[in-house]
C-alpha cells in the first residue's frame, strides 16, 4: 500500500509520510519487538525483509514514474530497518535509528524535487523530464546531493547506518551479505540512473519554457541538505 499512498498523495503528504510516519513505525517496532522472539519467527521475517530490498530495487530499475520510483526506494530502505530491528542488538538498533533519520531527510528531499519537476512539466514520466540541468542548473546540485545520499555515498550518515545494519546481519547470518550487498548495488544503479535521466540530455519541446527555481524552493532544499551535512560531520548529534 505504501507506493500507492506515496504516488496518490499530494507532495506535503508524501514528504510527511516518508520523513515522519514511516519513522514512527520503525520506532514502534524497536519499542514493541520482544527481545526473546523465537528464531523460527526471525528467520522468515528477516528473509522477507532482505528479499524485499532486492525486489523493490529491481522494481525501481523498471519504473518510468519518478514519484513511484522514489516510493519503492523508500520501501527498500525501510526493509533494511525492519531486518535490523528484529535482531535486537545495540549495534543493529543504532544502525536502524541512524538509517531512519538519514532516509527521512533524503526521501523527503527527493519527493520535493520530484514535485518541483512535476510543477514545471505536468508529468511524472522520466523521459519527459530530461535535460533539466539546462533549465535549472542550481537545482541540479540538490539533485546530485539527494541521489548520492540515497545510494549511501561515503561519508554520509546513510552509509554509516547501512554499514552497521549489514555488519549486524552478517554477524547474525553470513548468508545475508549476498542479499544486502546486491540490494546496495541495485540502489546505486537506479539512483544514478534517476539523476542522469532527469538532468542530462536535451530539453523536450514542452520543457523549454521552464522557469528557474524560486527562493522558497531553494530554501526547502537547503533545510534538507543542511541537516544531512551537519549529521555527517558530527554523528553524535543523533544521540
Over residues 12-70, the pLDDT tens digits come to 888 888 888 888 888 888 887 766 666 667 888 888 999 999 999 999 999 888 999 99
According to the model, what pLDDT value does residue 236 have?
75
Q: Name residue, grid cell 518541483.
A: 116
Question: Is 72 in a helix, a strand, or coil?
Answer: helix
Q: Which domain holds residue 4?
A: 1-238
According to the model, what pLDDT value does residue 184 have?
92
Which residues share a beta bridge with 65?
Answer: 125
Question: Is 125 in a helix, a strand, or coil?
Answer: strand
Residues of the chain with pLDDT under 70: 34-40, 206-209, 238-239
According to the model, what pLDDT value does residue 11 have?
86
Closest CA to 211 of 109, 80, 120: 120
Domains identified in the chain, total number:
1
According to the model, what pLDDT value does residue 146 have?
93
Phi and psi at residue 130, to the nearest 5°: -70, 155
According to the model, what pLDDT value does residue 26 have?
85
According to the model, what pLDDT value does residue 86 have?
86
Stretch (H or E) spanning 155: none
Q: Name residue, grid cell 519499542.
A: 31
According to the model, what pLDDT value does residue 149 have?
93
Amino acid at each position: 500500500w505504501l507506493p500507492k499512498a506515496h504516488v496518490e498523495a499530494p507532495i506535503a503528504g508524501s514528504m510527511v509520510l516518508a520523513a515522519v510516519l514511516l519513522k514512527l513505525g520503525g520506532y514502534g517496532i524497536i519499542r514493541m519487538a520482544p527481545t526473546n522472539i523465537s528464531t523460527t519467527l526471525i528467520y522468515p521475517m528477516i528473509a522477507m525483509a532482505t528479499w524485499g530490498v532486492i525486489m523493490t530495487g529491481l522494481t525501481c530499475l523498471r519504473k518510468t514514474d519518478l514519484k513511484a520510483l522514489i516510493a519503492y526506494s523508500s520501501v527498500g530502505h525501510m526493509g533494511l530497518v525492519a531486518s535490523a530491528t528484529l535482531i535486537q542488538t545495540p549495534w543493529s538498533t543504532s544502525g536502524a535509528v541512524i538509517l531512519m533519520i538519514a532516509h527521512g531527510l533524503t526521501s523527503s528531499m527527493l519527493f520535493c524535487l520530484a514535485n518541483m519537476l512535476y510543477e514545471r512539466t505536468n508529468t511524472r514520466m522520466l523521459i519527459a523530464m530530461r535535460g533539466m540541468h539546462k533549465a535549472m542548473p542550481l537545482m541540479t546540485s540538490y539533485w546530485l546531493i539527494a541521489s548520492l545520499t540515497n545510494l549511501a555515498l561515503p561519508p554520509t550518515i546513510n552509509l554509516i547506518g547501512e554499514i552497521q545494519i549489514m555488519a549486524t546481519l552478517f554477524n547474525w547470518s553470513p548468508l545475508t551479505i549476498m542479499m544486502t550487498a546486491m540490494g546496495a548495488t541495485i540502489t546505486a544503479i537506479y539512483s544514478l540512473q534517476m539523476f542522469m535521466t532527469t538532468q542530462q540530455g536535451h530539453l523536450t519541446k514542452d520543457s523549454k519554457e521552464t522557469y528557474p527555481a524560486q527562493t522558497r524552493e531553494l530554501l526547502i532544499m537547503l533545510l534538507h541538505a543542511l541537516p544531512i551535512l551537519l549529521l555527517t560531520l558530527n554523528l553524535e548529534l543523533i544521540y
